[in-house]
Structure 1
């Protein structure tokens, strides 16, 4: 059951991050899930020690854990934009 919740929350966070970074029209549902989960890993490495919160990958479904995971997904999409276009937007 945790896997299903993890995938759903990762998809929602990836979708929200793609809206913020204006990449929503270029991504499908599978890529949104991947961005949400990989972004949560990235947020866990970069932001979790700074903010003292876990991520959805650490089974931390608190508000702060969701924010860290979301910010990790936004950072991931910014890196992808930087590599593909040469600018973050």
Structure 2
């Protein structure tokens, strides 16, 4: 993986994490946490979505996958925080 690919992956993860924070809580969590949520969401979404027959390609597909995974992670975190 090249440096540019890693930078694009982190940028997409940051945007997906920020958007998930906005959608799920009304605000983001900060740049570093947004990147972490988005990157973990990308891996989680990449693992979970194919199990339901969903696959997206390209950078837009990576963003959609990361966003869906990040939203699920934020939802899980909110449920666990309340418990």
TM-score range, shorter chain: 0.7 to 0.9
Quick one: which of 8, 12, 23 aligns to 2:11?
8
TM-score, normalization by structure 1: 0.77
Q: Does 1:31 align with 2:10?
A: no
Query: What is the match of residue 19 of structure 1?
Result: 22
RMSD over aligned Cα atoms = 1.9
TM-score, normalization by structure 2: 0.82
| Unpaired segments ≥5 residues, structure 2 | none
| Unpaired segments ≥5 residues, structure 1 | none
**Superposed structure 1 runs of 4+ greater than 6 Å apart:** none
Number of equivalences: 80
